[in-house]
């Protein structure tokens, strides 16, 4: 059984550089729009859980809906829909289509 540090190092993405990087996050992406996941920011349990749910670099993702008060967001990734809080969505950097 692998320890937690092995799992985190396997999923950790390099930091986004100042000259090359996404211009949006899932939290700022408009409903009906999408792109490809560029990076999941952070190195804590929440970031790891987002990666485990399928929000890995290079995967197409689309914002489908939001709750009436704006939180949570519903996103489509890997053929299923996922509801995540806006604060969590702000960690997912996206290269818009």
The answer on pLDDT for 70 being more than 90 is no
Cβ contacts of 78 within 8 Å, gap of 6 or more:
54, 59
Least confident of 8-17, 34-43, 53-62, 70-79: 8-17
Q: Give all domains of the chain, ordered by start, each with its CATH number.
A: 21-96 (2.30.30.90)
Joined together, the tokens standing for residue 16 give: 């986004």
Does the pTM surpass 0.75? The reply is no
C-alpha dist (Å) from residue 29 to 11, 33, 37, 60: 24, 6, 12, 13
What's the confidence (pLDDT) of residue 77? 94
Distances (CA, A) of 24 to 27, 51, 70, 76, 90: 8, 18, 17, 17, 9
- Please tell me which residue, 96 or 13, carries the higher pLDDT value: 96
Could you report the per-residue pLDDT of 15-45, keeping only the tens digit for each? 444 445 567 899 999 999 999 999 999 889 9
| 76 DSSP 8-state letter | E
């Amino acid at each position: 059984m692998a320890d937690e540090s092995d799992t985190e190092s396997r999923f950790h993405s390099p930091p986004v550089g100042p000259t090359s990087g996404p211009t949006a996050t899932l939290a700022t992406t408009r409903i009906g729009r999408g792109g490809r996941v560029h990076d999941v920011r952070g190195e804590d349990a929440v970031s790891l859980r987002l990666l485990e749910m399928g929000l890995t670099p290079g995967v197409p993702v689309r914002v489908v809906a939001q709750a009436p008060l704006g939180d949570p967001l519903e996103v489509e990734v890997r053929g299923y829909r996922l509801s995540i809080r806006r604060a969590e969505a702000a960690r997912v950097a996206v290269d818009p289509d």
